[in-house]
Structure formats: C-alpha cells, structure tokens
A = this chain, B = another copy of it.
Amino acid sequence: MDQEIEDIQTQSEVQDKILLAALKLFTEKGYFNTSLIDIKEAAGLKTTGIIYQHFKTKQMIAVQLHANIFDSLSISIDDIRRTNEKSSEQLRSIVDLLFKLTDDAPDVSRFLLVLNVNEFLPEAKPLHESAAFKKIISIIEVGIKEGEMRNISPQLGYAEFFGIIDNTLRLVLTGFLDRKADFYQSQAWLAAWNALAKK
C-alpha cells in the first residue's frame, strides 16, 4: 500500500520532469529541433525508453503541456472573475498574471505568446476557441455593456488591448526590452487600458 502510493508519486514526479524538460526545450529550440534524446537528457533520465512509459508519442507530451497550460490559465481567469467586480479590475488582474508569469515562468509565457502550436499540434483548437480566450472576450463584452469601455467590437478591443500587452511581453522574452517584465507593467497597462476605456 505504502509502496503503491510511493510508486504513484514517483511516477508523477518523472512525468513532471519530462514535461518540464520538454517545455524548456520546445520553447527554446522549437518542437522539431527537440529530439527525445534531448528531452531524456534535460530530464535527467537514463534512457528514452522511460519516456514511453509515460507518453505514447512525442506529440502526446506536447498535447499534455498544451492542456496543462491552457487549463491552468482558464482556472486563473475564473478566480479573477470571482474575486473582482469590475471588468477593468478583471483585466488588470489578468495583465498582472501575465507579467508575473513572464518573470517567474518565462517558458510558460513563451509557450503562450510565441510558439506556433498548430505547427506541431495540428489538432489543437485555435487560440480563439479556447476557454480562457472566450472568457477574456466575455469580460470585454461586459465592460462595454456596463459602460466602462468604449463601444467597439470586443474582438477589436481584444486586438488592441492584448496587442500592447502581448507585444510588450514578447519583447521582454526576446530580450529586446532589457528589464524584467515587471518594470514595464504599469506603462503597458496604461497604454492598453487607454485603448479600451471610455474617454
């Protein structure tokens, strides 16, 4: 019994190592430049065979990563909507989340913002069909209806608001903006919010 539990824990620890190594390599070098041997070594495993005890194929590693990241984002947005009343506050918290993510877990941020997932996961739903994304659009819709934001199409509002946010973060991730994301947050927020807010 104890043995069983320990096995399960060890199992998931190895899984996490694999996922973490894959995330790092996929975002650094790209999916197709990453071999299972690369992953094996980055995860500190002895053989590639072990990977196949946890994932049926290389692609399934990417599928799992994708699901984890988007599920986690979706849950975070749920939390934010629950604990913030106004649409502006909800957006503010999402921006805060994304900037923190970029400083604390740049790999995750890179996966979200720079990777072209559909190149290696052709089956993956496009970003704008993801739960997280729909919730963001919904926040903007409410903001417009309640008069906090100017009356444009939510899609266009998204394009402008997250254009500024995402691009700022992308430029931090590529090193073109040379400070930590945190340094740019308030300016980016102001500019982005200004594109949405009712004057």
Contacts and interface: CB of A to CB of B under 8 A. Distances in A.
Interface of A: 29-30, 32-33, 114-116, 119-120, 126-128, 152, 155-156, 158-160, 162-168, 171, 174, 176-177, 184, 187-188, 191, 194-195
With a 10 A CB-CB cut-off, give which of A152, A162, A164 has the most chain B CB atoms. A164
A193 B184 CA distance: 19
Given A119-B30, A166-B167, A128 B176 contact: yes
Count of identical protomers in the assembly: 2
A157 to B, nearest CB: 10
A192 to B, nearest CB: 8
A114 B114 CA distance: 9
A161 to B, nearest CB: 9
With a 10 A CB-CB cut-off, give which of A116, A155, A160, A195 has the most chain B CB atoms. A160
A160 B158 CA distance: 14
A177 B160 CA distance: 12
Given A126-B174, A176-B128, A188-B160, A116 B30 contact: yes
